[in-house]
A = this chain, B = another copy of it.
Amino acid sequence: MLDPSVKELAQGKNFAVITVHLPSGAAATQVMWVDADDDHIVMNTEVHRAKFKALEADPRVTVTIWDQANPYHYAEVRGRVASTERGPEARAMIDRLSQKYLGTDYQREVESERVTIRIAPERQRTQ
């Protein structure tokens, strides 16, 4: 289960850095939109992206979410990809994220296919 403080940060209009492990061993990061259900950090990307390929090869992932109004308040979640979902549900998810952050459905072209990533926490920390 997600800690309530982590869930609150992830469901708010806050940004996250996702860290994935590349085959080279390097840690690759990106700033992304984020959301949560009761048990998972939820993110959405496209299946052709390097970060998704990296997660398919190595499901370990770290997500760092800061309070946009106060970056001294942030959460770190280390965990693993628990499930991925493609198809209409993943398209609906990016529209929901876009509504949260921009107030409109997702306007950018989908280059391959959207995919929703659910991350199960193994270690959670908020400060």
Contact = CB atoms under 8 A, between A and B. Distances in A.
Interface string A13-40: 0010101010001111111000000000
Interface stretch (A64-72, A90-98, A113-121): A64-72
A31 B127 CA distance: 10
Copies of this chain, whole number: 2
A23 to B, nearest CB: 13
B29 A19 contact: yes
B62 A29 contact: yes
Contact of A78 (B27, B31, B68): B27
A15 B69 CA distance: 12
Contacts of A28: 62, 76, 78
Q: Is the interface of A mostly helix, strand, loop or mixed?
A: strand
A30 B66 contact: no
A66 B15 CA distance: 10
Given A15-B71, A71-B15, A62 B26 contact: yes
Contact of A31 (B26, B27, B30, B64): B64
A60 interface: yes
Interface string A63-89: 010101001101010100000000000
Given A19-B62, A66-B15, A30 B76 contact: yes
